[in-house]
Amino acid sequence: MTTTAVLHSEWIKIRSVRASWGSLLSVLIAALAITLLAFPLIGQAEADNPDYDAIFSAFYAINFAQIAAICFGATAFSSEYAHGALRVSLAAVPNRALFYGAKTAVIGAAALLLGMITSFVTFLVGQAFMGEYAIGLGDEGALSACVGAGIYLALMALFASGLTALLRSGVAVLSLLIPFILIVGFVIGDMSAGVAEYLPDRAGQVILHSDPTGSLGPWTGLGVTALWAAGSVGAGWWAVRRRDA
């Protein structure tokens, strides 16, 4: 049994379940749709505010794309827990490390690819409507924010997939993470002091700010999100390795 064969098999599994394939595409679709709705209407209206952050505003739609990325990570793994499909999967690939590693790799790679496309498309399409306020990839922080947003989306997908493996339920993970992201993002808002800074979404989004104020830098922030994702993937592995299928 080769790793390539198992990776290919996991890719077929993602492609062939509408919920996971659809939510993967939704990462781009959601970001693009929000950008096309928001930027022609209100893009330039906010640009005169004194605390306007040109880069963070450019990635406004990433808030919505990350929900799609979380859905993708959760559904791509939860498809194994629907109808006991995991038993058939583990009968075909009894090496659980290979099974889990391949699935996680495919989820991460697919989310990273779509995340990168999404961040660049979001940025470039949004800026096309910004007229005199438009910034380009050459402006300070813009390119690293594009790359960072792509990585951030992939990390959020992995964070969700690991939790799904641990909790064995996509619904549980979605009803935990989505309100969590919405509350942290919109209720706590710009309150960036203390523990909240180290939450996976807050930390990872530091790279989207042109002038980060907290204690975390752009890449260390993304590093903190990567630790969250690694912790979640590790906990998922512990569950998959240990539990009876």
Partner 1 sequence: MTSIEVAALTKEYGSTRAVDGITFTVAPGRVTGFLGPNGAGKSTTMRLVLGLDRPTSGTATIGGRTYASLTDPLRQVGALLDAQNAHASRTGRNHLRALAVSNGLAPGRVDEVLEETGLTSAAKRRIKTYSLGMRQRLGIAAALLGDPPVIMLDEPSNGLDPEGIIWIRELLRRLAREGRTVLVSSHLMNETASFADHLVVLGRGRLLADTPMRAFLDAHSHARVRVRSAEQTRLRQALIQQGYVAEFDEDGKLTVEDAKAEDIGALAAREGVPILELADETASLEQAYLALTAQDAEFAAAPSRP
Binding site for partner 1 (CB under 8 A): 1-2, 5-6, 8-10, 12-13, 15-19, 79, 82-85, 87-88, 90-95, 244-245
CB of 169 to partner 1, least distance (A): 15
Please report, as a single letter, which amino acid is at residue 119: S
- To the nearest 10 degrees (0 to 180), the angle between helices 18-38 and 62-78 is 180
> Closest CB to partner 1 among 18 and 190?
18
- Distance in angstroms (rounded) separating the CA atoms of residues 74 and 107: 10
CB-nearer residue toward partner 1: 5 or 137: 5
Amino acid in position 196: A
Shortest distance (Å) from residue 16 CB to partner 1: 4
Q: Give 51 or 244: the residue with its C-beta nearer to partner 1.
A: 244
Closer of 6 and 160 to partner 1 (Cβ): 6
CB 116 within 8 Å of CB 150? yes
**Is residue 146 within 8 Å of residue 195, measured between CB atoms?**
no
Encoded tokens for 55: 């880069």
Min separation Cβ 154 and partner 1, Å? 23
Cβ closest to partner 1, residue 2 vs residue 49:
2
Question: Residue 31 or 86: which CB sits closer to partner 1?
Answer: 86
Smallest gap from residue 103 Cβ to partner 1 (A): 11
Name the nearest CA neighbour of 56 among 120, 176, 162, 149. 149
Quote the least distance from Cβ 90 to partner 1, whole Å: 6
Scanning the chain, the segments in alpha helix (DSSP H) are 3-15, 18-38, 54-58, 62-78, 85-92, 96-127, 142-167, 170-182, 200-204, 218-242
